[in-house]
Structure 1
Amino acid sequence: MKGGKHLVVVLWLATIVSALAVVYSTQRSRELTAQLMQAQKARDELRYEQERLLLEKSAWSAYSRIERVAREELKMRVPSPAERVLVPAEHN
């Protein structure tokens, strides 16, 4: 009978340990799920920012904008035919 009491105590302790392990793994799973959701949100925000920056880059490098900045801000203009100088290519 003494061995039966020990078996019951061992089984009871195993049940308690198992229950605690389930609680721990459930809590850990919730924590990791929350971290995953935060990481996915950050990824989505970074993708949006990347797309916005690519559009901005395209706008800043558009040929018409470069031409306008050269003409208006830098006071550049296309040289007249009299101002053009042709440099002959060297043949080696």
Structure 2
Amino acid sequence: MKVNRGLLLVGLWLAVIASALAVVHTTHRSRVLTAELVQAQKARDELRFEQERLLLEKGAWSAYGRIEQVAQEKLNMHMPDSDERVLVPQQ
């Protein structure tokens, strides 16, 4: 019986050590994944900020007044006079 008790005690010690190593590994992995999550959330927030800035810029560039100004200044366009207008009949 002493041999069986000794083997049981060694087996229990090995189980405790394996369990402790598993806890250490799991804790380390959890910390690594948490750090990656924080970095991903930071990148997400930076991309959202950039998207909002670009949407505001798009709105400013596509405003009707801005388009009309560019058409007049750079393309030399103007509103046609009544004698320059041509009506196309519908079929």
User: What TM-score do you get using the length of structure 1 for normalisation?
Assistant: 0.92
| Alpha-carbon offset, residue 89 of structure 1 | 2.6
| Alpha-carbon offset, residue 30 of structure 1 | 0.2
| Alpha-carbon offset, residue 80 of structure 1 | 1.4
Overall identity of the aligned pairs, in %: 67
| Alpha-carbon offset, residue 84 of structure 1 | 1.7
User: What TM-score do you get using the length of structure 2 for normalisation?
Assistant: 0.93
| Alpha-carbon offset, residue 88 of structure 1 | 2.7
Report the Cα distance in structure 1 between the residues aligned to 2:22 and 2:74, rounded to whole angstroms: 70
Partner of 1:18: 19
* Structure 1 unaligned spans of 5+: none
Report the Cα distance in structure 1 between the residues aligned to 2:61 and 2:69, rounded to whole angstroms: 11
Partner of 2:58: 57
| Alpha-carbon offset, residue 50 of structure 1 | 0.9
Amino acid at match of 2:62: S
Please list the CA deviations of residues 35-54 of structure 1 after superposition, one character each: whole Å capped at 9, or x if unmatched.
Answer: 11111111111111111111
Report the Cα distance in structure 2 between the residues aligned to 1:21 and 1:88, rounded to whole angstroms: 82
* Structure 2 unaligned spans of 5+: none
Amino acid at match of 1:8: L
Report the Cα distance in structure 1 between the residues aligned to 2:45 and 2:17, rounded to whole angstroms: 42
Please list the CA deviations of residues 21-66 of structure 1 after superposition, one character each: whole Å capped at 9, or x if unmatched.
Answer: 0000000000000011111111111111111111111111100000
